[in-house]
Structure 1
Amino acid sequence: MNAPITRRVWVTGASDGLGLALAERLLEQGALVTASARPSEQLQALAGQYGPRLLVQDYDLSDAAQASAAARQVKDHWGALDCLIVNAGTCDYLAPDTPASALFEAIVSSNLQASANCLASALALLKQGSSPQVLAVLSRYSALQIHEPSQPARPDNSLPALFASQRAALGAQAIDLTVVAPLSLKAPVVPVQAIPEQWTAQSAAEVILKHLPDRAPDLVLEALGVNSLWPLPR
């Protein structure tokens, strides 16, 4: 078993797929984990296995009041936070009756709101943590731009722009930010085209956490089987 990368970690979107795999791997490494997610049998099984080292939350983080309540619960349990992992891949915070025609716009808008709320709610906890950092994981779905995509990306219409806008403010508080996302054609973070790979949730979680201590500003994740990492609702 590897030594824990961080001691107190909050993982959002952890009901299944990559979010669940990140939570499980962190628990295997000895971390104290808060998992915010829709109720799921897999997450409850982890709770049964790891007991007091896993705090399971059922909050709608796209609602500011519920995100604040989630952060208060984290503080009550762990006192502070060393790492916030925002798994903004698909739809943990979508209304169950979202029509198929509105699905992708709803994925972007709900993840935008949830990510902004989590950053705001977790800031004080991170400032009290040890070598704090934020890891944001975006999918090809959630990295899309909504509302006039031909126009410049802004924090209110683009998840990559939201995190970019927060980088300096987090850095001023000695909080590192790593964004894991598919390669953007508008603003590529590496000079070569990344080749999509057939990731599983477990293999992607393993690689992401392996690179977490490097605190790189950006990492590229191109996936062939996106649904295996961020399952869409059936």
Structure 2
Amino acid sequence: MTQEKFPGVFLTFEGIDGSGKSTQCRTLAETLKSHGHEVVLTREPGGSAGAEEIRRLVLEGDPDRWSAETELLLFTAARRDHMERTILPALRAGKVVICDRFADSTRMYQGLSRGDLRGAVDQLHALMIGREPDLTLLIDMDPEVGLARAKGRQTAEERFEDFGLELQQKMRAGFLSLAQEFEGRFRVVNGARDMAAVAQEITALVTDFLATRG
């Protein structure tokens, strides 16, 4: 996919539920700010007013509330609004965008684990989004540990966690396969360590990546 060149950098974090992505996103954002970068920290689904409304629809409620096909359309609608209102303006302004989940999560949740929709996910992504991250950090960990962490948060946004361990196991295998498919932009980080050690590795990876872009 040919992407329009922007002065900014688009970084995403992926991983199963409870892998520590959100914490590492925040830590990296603070580190990069301390190094003088302008940073936009955002998330999916969400990151814009309209996308946050859709977030509540897809992450709350009964697991069977939506089919995988309907989820795909809702997530893509949220992502389009997020791109238009948050991500692209920041990239055009030369900022570093750090996003907690992006299209790779849709490739996994709706494209692999919730239905055989990978082809539809990629077609819709090419048509309506048309952009991949510059670098993706995949935090890998044991699905049983991750699910226990995620359920321990006890928030209203547990619709996908409620599908259980089998979904998380499929997700982990799928993410690792995706990292091989897009090996040029993925970096796999062992999340089964102290958070500080994970953060240190991520900082090193991102610092090296930014250095290559001048």
Q: What range is the shorter-chain TM-score in?
A: 0.3 to 0.5
Which structure ranks higher in relative contact order (CA pairs < 8 Å, sequence separation ≥ 6)?
Answer: 2
TM-score by length of 2: 0.42
Greater per-residue helix proportion: 2
